[in-house]
Structure 1
Amino acid sequence: MHHLTTFSTRNNLDQALATQVSDLLAQAIKNKGKASIAVSGGSTPKGFFELLSQCDLDWSKVTITLADERWVSMDSDASNTRLVHENLLQNKAANAKFFHLKQGNELTGETLDDLNLAAKNSLLPLDVLILGMGEDGHTASLFPCSDEITQGLARDNSAALLAVQPKTAPHQRISFSFASLSTSQNTFLHLCGENKQTVLTQALNGSDEFEMPIRAFLQDPNVDTKVYWAP
């Protein structure tokens, strides 16, 4: 299921989301002594990252990770890890921990097994999840064109992470599965622009998750996705 909140400007959205997320992380720290958040890449979250990085929070008790990552070097323009380090792990948030999804030169089965174990032991379930959405309805690296989409959307998938090779986008990826992401205590879908509003409407008007994987988060009765949109 989903709840849509619209904002008049992107800055208003970024301010509201940063305040909300900061409060949720602070509450998690108060309740259990630590907090975890997974964010998404792209240009949309940069303003939100900057504002969140300036929030007063015990960042040393927060672990940040990505919903997915391209298997590229950190100095690549395509690296979401680089994006997070340059825009979120700054200011007060420089004290946060970062859980690297991209480790090593090759995404081997052994590497994937090690990352799955580490994620389950130290990260999951997430306190906060910030998703994005592509024009094809993909989210994280759950691509409708990939051979791995059945595994990625399977409710009974015991693996937290999977390797993905999209057919319509460059780079091998590593992505959290729907089964692992859906356990997040708080899920947000961060969207900006008229094109994304059109894609969102299309996603809400259909039911085939394999056609548009974002539908899994928007329509699953056990997942409460808060959609934040601005022009």
Structure 2
Amino acid sequence: MYEINEFTTRAELDNTLADKVADILAKAVAQHGRASIAVSGGSTPKGFFQALSNKDLPWSEITVTLADERWVNIDSDASNTKLVYENLIQNKATNAKFFHLKQGEQLTHETLADLNLAAKSSILPLDVLILGMGEDGHTASLFPCSDQIDECLSATTAPLLKVVPKTAPHDRISFSYSYLKPSKNVILHISGQAKMDVLNKALANDDKREMPIRAFLHDPEINTQVFWAE
């Protein structure tokens, strides 16, 4: 399931989305004493990150993580962790906790095992999941070109996986679909006509292996909120 929310400007989208997410996180902390949010990288969410970072929230009880990360140094311009620290964990959000996906030099089986245990105990299921979408229909690092795509979409896989895309640089670590699906609020944040064209293609067919974003758009158990502005 999905619902498309269209906005005239990206600033309007960013501010409305920040209001919505802040409300969800505040209620989660009030009810459960903690909240978790996974965000995505790229240039699209920067304005949203900055708007959210200025919200008065109990940030020390909120854990931020990433839907996926490139296995690069944290000071690399390709690092989503760097993007989050520079744009979201700022202003009023400096006390937020951050669950690092990129830990250590090598993405080993031991590293994955430790991360999976920590994720299950501290942040899953996510209160908020903010997804992006690539031109090929990938989301998080669920790449249709990767040899790991079946594992990524499997209902029985682990929370976090190593993914090696064939059409994009860097090895990745990504949450699997089976552990992103139970997120209490799933939001797809996209902008521009090109991404709307990709979205329309994704909506026209339900082959999720060809375009993994379809797993979120066509699953009747998920209410994916699409936030789009030109």
TM-score between both structures, scaled by the size of structure 2: 0.99
User: What displacement does 1:209 show?
Assistant: 0.4
1:220 aligns with 2:208: no
- Amino acid of the structure 2 residue aligned with 1:69: E
1:89-133 deviation line (CA, Å, top 9, x unaligned): 000110100000000000000000000000001110000000000
Matched, 1:111 2:111: yes
* 2:27 match: 27
SS at match of 2:94: helix
Counterpart of 1:115 in structure 2: which amino acid? L
The residue aligned with 1:62 is 62
Structure 1: distance between partners of 2:38 and 2:175? 10
| Aligned amino acid, residue 168 of structure 2 | A
For the residues of structure 2 that align with 1:218 and 1:93, how far apart are their CA atoms? Answer: 31
Partner residue, 2:102: 102
Deviation digits for residues 143-195 of structure 1 (CA, Å, limit 9, x no counterpart): 000010101011232x1000000000000000000000001000000010000
User: Residue 79 of structure 1 aligns with which residue?
Assistant: 79
Structure 1 residues 1-231: aligned runs within 5 Å: 1-157=1-157, 159-231=158-230
Identity %: 65
- List alignment gaps of at least 5 residues for structure 2: none
Match for 1:76: what amino acid? Answer: S
Describe the SS at the equivalent of 2:190: strand
Distance in 2 between residues matched to 1:61 and 1:87, nearest whole Å? 19
Structure 2: how far apart are the matches of 1:216 and 1:209? Answer: 5
Rounded Cα–Cα distance in structure 1 between residues aligned with 2:220 and 2:204: 16
Point out where structure 1 has 5 or more consecutive residues left out of the alignment: none
SS of residue paired to 1:36 = strand
| Residue 28 of structure 1: how far off its partner (Å) | 0.1
Output the CA distance in 2 between the equivalents of 1:165 and 1:208.
21
> Shift of residue 207 of structure 1?
1.2
Give the letter for the 2:149 counterpart.
I
Counterpart code for 1:10: R
Q: Distance in 1 between matches of 2:123 and 2:206?
A: 31
CA distance in 1, matches of 2:31, 2:218: 29
Q: Which amino acid aligns with 1:132?
A: G
Letter in 1 for 2:152: G
